[in-house]
Structure 1
Amino acid sequence: MKYFQIDKSLFETNRTNFKARMKPKSLAVFNSNDIYPISADSTMPFEQHRDIFYLSGVDQEESILVLFPDCPKEKHREILFLKETNEHIAIWEGEKLTKENAFKTSGIKTVYWLQDMEKVMFEIMTQCDTVYINTNEHYRANVETETREDRFTKWLKNKYPAHAVAKSNPILQRLRSVKAPLEIDLIQKACDITEKGFRRILDFVKPGVWEFEIEAEFMHEFLRQRSRKFAYTPIVASGNNANVLHYIENNQQCKAGDLILMDVGAEYANYSSDMTRSVPVSGRFSERQKAVYNAVLRVKNEATKMLVPGTDWAEYHIEVGNIMTSELLSLGLIDKADVQNENPEWPAYKKYFMHGTSHHMGLDTHDYGVLTEPMQANMIFTVEPGIYIPDEGFGIRLEDDVIIQKGGEPFNLMRNIPIEVDEIENIMNS
């Protein structure tokens, strides 16, 4: 891994918190992701399932975590099953976790090789009544591929049909949405890497560069800073491309007078950052571009102030919509008649700002969190309003990552990334 080893106390605490919410005489199982094939002998780069990583720190394929807090045998209350490593595997595939290194990573003392899994599982399944399976219940999930977790669940329910089944996801939705101090440090590191990439871009952008060249500059800097990759597929959208919300082709030339919308974030140690900035190709905003830009910035700043403990998700978005409506009226993009005659299900402001303002962020860019419950301290949200004007050939979105703080103002993890018009223009023209 490119990242520095994480203190295992984070994963020990996460497991303690999860086990405290389990039913009596129950066990929970978590699987690594598959390595997904492309064609012939080609595969996609391995991406660890965030849940097993959250609970163990294990960042390796073919791994299984079992938690059984009420197990009669103390050594079986936490178990890791790992792919066996040896000298041959080390030569052909690289070093895998040894049992000793698995303990250093996770704090789990009992480690078996994967070939012993069925034998050990038989023993502990005779000692439990309920099995927690790990399903994907994220509100944005739309998965057609059968995962390693899915296959294991099928095998488990077929092999042990008399056991009661419970779901891990409701527990994880709440635990993962509230970040530990160590997690906040890792997300801050991802944001700091993103800042370095953005400052590099400000020195690079000029008329004639291509969107993919900007993407390459970001990736160059991210890798230099121990990030493995983009946290999500990057958007580098110049001119009218910015009005396509999920534009990812990044294959057009940037023209003088246009703006570039860049929705880009680095990952670090599987944790995400999520930034959007809009900058002028020529180094200066036009007066109209500046007016729209500052309107978006004001909405972002006002929305950020509302990210405090107790805020209701739905009410927050209604209030942000009211602020955006006021800005669009001032810009002349809508008028009072538009507002008076609007459809409450699709308010007038949605013509120019059609997406949500915030989402949870953490191990996943769109992280776990229960949207029907009030916001809590140590949750991290994006704040990302935008105004998109196809008729004028540009769109602007601005996005930072913000921690909700107990008894204090929200803390911006991207506070050092340039965002004010004057600051961006000064850097681009220095």
Structure 2
Amino acid sequence: MRYQPIPQDLFIQNRHNFSKQLNTCSVAIFNSNDIMPTNADGTMSFRQNSDLFYLSGIDQEESILVLFPEAKDPRMQEILFLRETNDLILTWEGYKLTKEQAREISGIETVLWLSEFKQVLNSLMAEAEHVYLNTNEHLRAVVEVETRDARFIKWCKEHYPLHKYERSAPIMHKLRAVKSEPEIELIKTACEITEKAFRRLLGFIKPGVMEYEIEAEISHEFLRNRSRGPAYSSIIASGANACILHYVDNNRECKDGDLVLMDFGAEYANYAADLTRTVPVNGKFSKRQREVYDSVLTVMKAAKQMLVPGNSLDQYHAFVGRVMENELIKLGLLNEADVRNQDPAKPLYKKYFMHGTSHLLGLDVHDVGNKYRPFEEGMVFTCEPGIYIREEGIGIRLENDILITKNGAIDLMENIPLEADDIEKLMKK
């Protein structure tokens, strides 16, 4: 892997925390992600299942983790199954993990080859009463392909129909929402790499540059700093494209007088950063652009102060909505009387700010967690208000990653230029 080794204590502790949540006499099984096909004999780059990585640190395909805390044989309480390599695999694909390397990464002593899985599982199921299986239960997930976990669920229920089946996802959502110190350090590293990319862009962007050239500069900086690449598809949206929230074509010329909205973040050790900045292509905001920019920044600063323990997403978004209404009235986009008489279920500000202000961040960009759970120390949220005025061809979003602590919000991107004056000054250089 490109990233530096992660201390195995992180994964040992994660497994310990997970196992404490299980019913008595339970076995839990986690599968790696598939390598997804493209066309002919092509494949996509492998991305490990976030839950398996969280519990083991293993970043290799065709891996299975089995946890059975009450197994009678202590060697069977934690088992890692790996794909056994051979000369053919070495020749065509390269090195795979040895058992010794897997033990060093994960802290799991019992490492077996995948060919032994069914026989070992059969003996464990004779002891187990409950079986925890993993699924993707993210609220926004759209799963149109059958995953390795989904195939295994069908196989397991067919071969062991009388066991009591449970869901691992609620436990994983609970645990992964609160980041430990090692995880926070990994996210900080992703943020630092993202900062390097943004500072690189401030000296690169000018009229005539193509959106994809900006994207190329970002990727270059990511790769040279041990990142596998972007944590998600980079959005480089100039002019009216900035009013398309998930614009990823990145094929337009950036023109004099345009703004360019850039939403990107590095992945480091599978952990994500998520940054958005909007800058003037020619290095100088127009009067109207500056007005809108300052309004977004005002909302962002107010929102950050609400990311504190005990608050909730519903309360938070209601507060941000009120601040946004005031800014949109100042900008002449909303009428104060209309706002007073609006349908609370359909707030008028949604015309210009139609997405949420924050989401959890971690191993996934839109990380897992319960949206009704009060904010807790150790949670990491994005803070990303925006104003999109389609009729003026202006779209501005600003986004930083925020760590919640008992003493308030800590901005993990506080060193990344944000004030309009600072942006203009750095672009002028």
Q: Indicate the TM-score class for this superposition, using the shorter chain for normalisation.
A: over 0.9
Letter in 2 for 1:346: K
Please state how far the C-alpha of 1:421 moved relative to its aligned partner.
0.6
Distance 1:352 1:202 in 2: 27
Could you say what secondary structure the match of 1:42 adopts? coil
1:328-369 superposed Cα distances (whole Å, 9 cap, x missing partner): 111111111320232212201111101000000000000011
2:6 counterpart residue number: 6
Cα-to-partner distance string for 1:37-89 (whole Å, 9 max, x where unaligned): 11111000001000000000000000000000000000000000100023432
CA distance in 2, matches of 1:383, 1:118: 46
Counterpart of 2:40 in structure 1 is: 40
- Deviation digits for residues 393-419 of structure 1, max 9, x if unmatched? 11100000000001x120011011100
Per mean C-alpha deviation after superposition, the further-off stretch among 228-237 and 341-350 is 341-350
Q: Is 2:194 aligned against 1:194?
A: yes
Read off the aligned partner of 1:86 and give its amino acid letter.
Answer: N
Amino acid at match of 1:371: K
Rounded Cα–Cα distance in structure 2 between residues aligned with 1:37 and 1:388 = 37
TM (norm. structure 2) is: 0.99
Secondary structure of 2:405's partner? coil
Partner Cα separation in structure 2 for residue 140 and residue 304 of structure 1: 24
Report SS of the residue matched to 1:267: strand
Partner of 2:81: 81
Letter in 2 for 1:380: V
1:130-186 Cα offsets, whole Å, 9 max, x none, are 000101111111101100011111111110001000110010001000001000000
Aligned length: 429
Partner residue in 2 for 1:266 = 266
Instruction: Indicate whether 1:420 and 2:419 are aligned.
Output: yes
Query: How far apart in 1 are the matches of 2:94 and 2:415?
Result: 38
Larger mean Cα displacement after TM superposition, 176-185 or 345-354: 345-354
2:139 match: 139
Partner of 1:53: 53
Q: Distance in 1 between matches of 2:38 and 2:415?
A: 39
Residues 349-393 of structure 1, C-alpha deviation per residue, up to 9 Å, x if partnerless?
A: 111101000000000000011111101000000000000011111
What residue identity is the alignment partner of 1:310? G
Aligned to 2:185: 185
Give the drift of 1:92.
1.8
The residue correspondences of 1:378-417 to structure 2 (distance < 5 A) are: 378-406=378-406, 408-417=407-416
The answer to whether 1:112 aligns with 2:137 is no
Q: CA deviation at 1:32?
A: 0.2
What pairs with 1:297-308 in structure 2 (closer than 5 Å)?
297-308=297-308
Q: For 1:230-285, what per-residue CA distance to the aligned partner results, in whole angstroms no more than 9, with x for missing partners?
A: 10011000000000111110000000011000001010000000000000000000
Measure how far apart 1:425 and its partner are.
Answer: 0.5
Unmatched runs of 5 consecutive residues or more in structure 2 = none
SS in 1 for 2:84: coil
User: RMSD value over aligned CA atoms?
Assistant: 0.7
Q: Take 1:96 and 1:345, find their aligned partners in 2: how far apart are those partners?
A: 54
| Map of 2:363 onto structure 1 | 363
1:167 alignment counterpart = 167
Query: Could you tell me which amino acid in structure 1 is paired with residue 112 of structure 2?
Result: Y
Deviates more, 1:141-150 or 1:88-97: 88-97
Matches within 5 A, 1:236-255: 236-255=236-255
Q: Classify the secondary structure of the residue corresponding to 1:314.
A: helix
- Name the SS of the counterpart of 1:236 in structure 2: strand
Structure 2 CA distance for aligned equivalents of residues 97 and 224 of structure 1: 24
Residues 55-74 of structure 1 correspond to what in structure 2 (within 5 A)? Answer: 55-74=55-74
Could you tell me how far 1:91 is from its partner in structure 2?
2.4
Separation of aligned partners in 2, 1:402 and 1:340:
32
Matched, 1:206 2:231: no
Structure-to-structure mapping, 1:146-165, within 5 angstroms: 146-165=146-165
Q: Which secondary structure state, in structure 1, belongs to the residue aligned with residue 183 of structure 2?
A: helix
Specify the code of the residue in structure 2 equivalent to 1:36: M
| Cα distance in 2 for residues equivalent to 1:409 and 1:114 | 46
CA deviation after TM superposition for structure 1 residue 90, in Å: 2.0
Residue identity in the other structure for 1:421: A
Residue 366 of structure 2 corresponds to residue 344 of structure 1 = no
Query: Using the alignment, how far apart are the partners of 1:77 and 1:393 within structure 2?
Result: 59
Partner Cα distance (1:111, 1:340) in 2? 64
- Farther off after superposition, 140-149 or 342-351: 342-351
Distance across 2 between alignment mates of 1:306 and 1:337: 27
CA distances 1:200-246 after superposition (whole Å, capped 9, x unpaired): 00000000000000000000000010111110011000000000111
Letter in 2 for 1:9: D
**Percentage of identical aligned residues:** 57
CA apart distance, 1:5 = 1.1
Greater displacement, 203-212 / 327-336: 327-336
What SS is found at the alignment partner of 1:126? helix
Q: Which amino acid aligns with 1:214?
A: I
Q: Is 1:256 paired with 2:292?
A: no
Q: Quick check: 1:222 aligned with 2:222? A: yes
Structure 1 segments, 4+ long, off by >6 Å, are none
Deviation at 1:312, TM superposition (A): 1.4
Q: What residue in structure 1 maps to residue 234 of structure 2? A: 234
